[in-house]
């Protein structure tokens, strides 16, 4: 069996025929599959006849790339499909070793490469075992073995370079080239560590996809593209909304060289951050939506999809981290109007809750404990009751002695649900002294660590509030 070293995407053709002859495998079904991103899909099924031959064929175009021939025990081998007719012969004992390519220039080069890499792997494994068995004092022998290992690595590099140079017309050459990493300059005498790290960050942001042909749709059906995208945004980009949205934009703009690659890349990144568990990634969603979907660049999106995306953007665009929290003026339990922006505490917790929600009552109880142990007037809670039942709400507030500013909007004048994207409860926002949103949709046990981080980041000490009156239940 060979691992999913590559995956598939195909050049469009008028018809296709893939013939595989097994030396000792008969009268059984096999499958024609393909990779797409991190997943594998089955495209067709066919029977191996009594002569050990199976044929997959069709009179319509098939997307190009590297496909999988899968036998019933889920063992498989890969074929590059970039020609109308392919004929190979192999056996289930060792698909790579036993592979004989009868008809296919792509797969002749592909399997020569796989056999070469297999030999290199075994040689390197043997050398590594010898190296590990040596005594620490055997420095000369260690040096010799390390040199041999380096030579093996150099041979791989040279072999790949020869494929790119000598077989540039093949799709496989594009795959090999896509495996190359961009090469930054070495650290120079004038660089300090910080300067060089900044250089590396900028370099990889700009050049990470230089060796990948994003104008070729076939790259989508390889196991190369999606992992490279994930590595780019997860490992080589700072986990900050501004950094991510511009990194994502840079890649998406490059992917516009091909409509299908653009579609795949935008959908992947948009969904990735729409589902992200990391706080603040909704800013990335808004940015991508406005730049590509709402601008009309995502031509495949229909009016229903655009309407849903527009609604989501509207609900997010006023409550992103770093923005000033929208003002809320609501009536408290005695009918007096209270202003969110008028609160003088250094931090404000804005919580949306409903007395009929059991989890909400638990969160409110935990917030009370947090306020009780916080320095006087350094933390205040603006608690918005979202339900329509006022009697039970007021009763719960009084019985539990909740030291918050309690308000509700029974007449639905404030538009709080859209302003703060409240589609379920509870929802907790953390605001600073200037009512800038510093965190949103946070668990109670995360509040103190976030505040501690904010104070270290900005080196802030809470100012005494102007109003020194005791907290009271509104």
Q: Which residue has the tokens 């929802």?
A: 427
Treating both helix axes as pointing N-terminal to C-terminal, what angle do 139-166 and 105-133 enclose, rounded to 10 degrees?
A: 170
Q: Which residue has the tokens 């409240």?
A: 422
Whether residue 407 is predicted with pLDDT greater than 50 in this model: the reply is yes
Mean pLDDT value across residues 30-48: 93
Which among 236, 318, 316 has a CA at the least distance from the CA of 281?
316
Whether residue 445 is predicted with pLDDT greater than 90 in this model: the reply is yes
346 within 8 A of 378, measured Cβ to Cβ: yes
Q: Give residues with Cβ within 8 angstroms of 336, minimum separation 6.
A: 474
Residue 353 to residue 382: CA distance in whole angstroms = 11
* DSSP conformation class of 219: G
Cα atoms found within 13 Å of the Cα of residue 359, Cβ hemisphere only = 8
Whether residue 136 is predicted with pLDDT greater than 90 in this model: the reply is no
Whether residue 126 is predicted with pLDDT greater than 50 in this model: the reply is yes
Which among 44, 12, 51 has a CA at the least distance from the CA of 29?
44
Q: Which two tokens stand for residue 365?
A: 């109880």
388 within 8 A of 409, measured Cβ to Cβ: no
83/469: higher pLDDT: 83
Q: Give residues with Cβ within 8 angstroms of 323, minimum separation 6.
A: 436, 437
CA angle 162, 164, 165 (to 5 degrees): 65
Say what the pLDDT of residue 457 is. 64
Mean predicted lDDT score pLDDT of the chain: 91
Say what the pLDDT of residue 6 is. 39
Which among 325, 358, 352 has a CA at the least distance from the CA of 340?
325
What kind and span of H or E run contains 184? Answer: none
Whether residue 10 is predicted with pLDDT greater than 80 in this model: the reply is no
Say what the pLDDT of residue 25 is. 85
Q: pLDDT digits over 91-104, tens only?
A: 988 999 999 999 99
What kind and span of H or E run contains 24? Answer: none
Mean pLDDT value across residues 433-442: 96
Q: pLDDT digits over 248-299, tens only?
A: 999 999 999 999 999 999 999 999 999 999 999 999 999 999 999 999 999 9
Say what the pLDDT of residue 463 is. 40
Say what the pLDDT of residue 465 is. 39
List the single range of 2-16, 22-36, 412-426 with lowest mean pLDDT. Answer: 2-16
299 within 8 A of 260, measured Cβ to Cβ: no
Neighbours of 264 (CB within 10 A): 20
Helices (H) and strands (E) in the chain, counts: 13, 15
Q: pLDDT digits over 159-208, tens only?
A: 999 999 999 999 999 999 999 999 999 999 999 999 999 999 999 999 99
pTM for this prediction: 0.85
* Res. 14 pLDDT band, cuts 50 70 90: low
The percentage of the chain sitting over the pLDDT mark of 70, rounded to a whole number, equals 93
Whether residue 334 is predicted with pLDDT greater than 50 in this model: the reply is yes
Whether residue 4 is predicted with pLDDT greater than 90 in this model: the reply is no
Q: Give residues with Cβ within 8 angstroms of 310, minimum separation 6.
A: 289, 294
| Distances from the Cα of 14 to the Cα of 17, 60, 406, angstroms | 11, 6, 70
């Amino acid at each position: 069996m060979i691992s999913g070293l590559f995956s598939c995407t195909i050049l469009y053709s008028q018809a296709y025929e893939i013939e595989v002859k097994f030396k000792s495998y008969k009268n059984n079904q096999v499958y024609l599959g393909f990779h797409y991103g991190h997943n594998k899909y089955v495209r067709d099924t066919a029977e191996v006849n009594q002569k050990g031959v199976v044929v997959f064929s069709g009179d319509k175009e098939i997307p190009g790339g590297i496909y999988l021939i899968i036998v019933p025990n889920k063992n498989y081998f890969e074929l590059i499909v970039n020609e109308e007719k392919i004929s190979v012969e192999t056996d289930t004992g060792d698909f790579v070793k036993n592979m004989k390519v009868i008809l296919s220039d792509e797969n002749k080069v592909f399997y020569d490469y796989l056999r070469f890499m297999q030999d290199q792997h075994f040689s390197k494994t043997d050398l590594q075992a010898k190296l590990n068995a040596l005594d620490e004092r055997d420095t000369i022998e260690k040096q010799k073995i390390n040199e041999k290992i380096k030579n093996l690595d150099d041979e791989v590099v040279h072999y790949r370079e020869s494929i790119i140079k000598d077989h540039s017309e093949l799709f496989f050459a594009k795959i090999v080239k896509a495996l190359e990493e961009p090469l930054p300059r070495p650290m120079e005498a004038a660089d300090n560590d910080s300067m060089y790290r900044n250089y590396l960050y900028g370099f990889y942001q700009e050049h990470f996809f230089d060796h990948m042909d994003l104008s070729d749709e076939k790259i989508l059906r390889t196991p190369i593209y999606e992992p490279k995208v994930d590595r780019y945004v997860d490992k080589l980009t700072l986990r900050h909304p501004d950094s991510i949205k511009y990194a994502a934009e840079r890649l998406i703009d490059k992917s516009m060289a091909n409509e299908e690659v653009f579609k795949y890349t935008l959908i992947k990144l948009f969904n990735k951050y729409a589902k992200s568990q990391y706080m603040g990634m909704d800013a990335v969603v808004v940015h991508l939506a406005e730049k590509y979907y709402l601008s009309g660049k995502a031509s495949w999106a229909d009016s229903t999809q655009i309407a849903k995306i527009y609604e989501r953007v509207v609900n997010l665009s006023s409550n992103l981290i770093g923005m000033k929290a929208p003002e809320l003026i609501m009536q408290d339990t005695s009918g007096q109007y209270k202003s969110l922006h008028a609160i003088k505490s250094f931090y404000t917790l804005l919580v949306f809750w409903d007395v009929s929600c059991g989890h909400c009552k638990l969160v409110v109880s935990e917030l009370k404990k947090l306020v009780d142990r916080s320095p006087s007037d350094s933390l205040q809670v603006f608690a918005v009751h979202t339900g329509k039942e006022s009697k039970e709400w007021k009763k719960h507030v009084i019985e539990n002695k909740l030291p918050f500013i309690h308000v509700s909007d029974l007449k639905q004048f404030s538009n709080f649900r859209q302003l703060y994207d409240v589609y379920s409860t509870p929802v907790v926002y953390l605001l600073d002294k200037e009512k800038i949103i510093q965190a949103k949709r946070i668990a109670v046990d995360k509040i103190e660590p976030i505040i501690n981080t904010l104070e270290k980041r900005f080196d802030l000490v809470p100012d005494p509030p102007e109003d020194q009156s005791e907290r009271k239940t509104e």
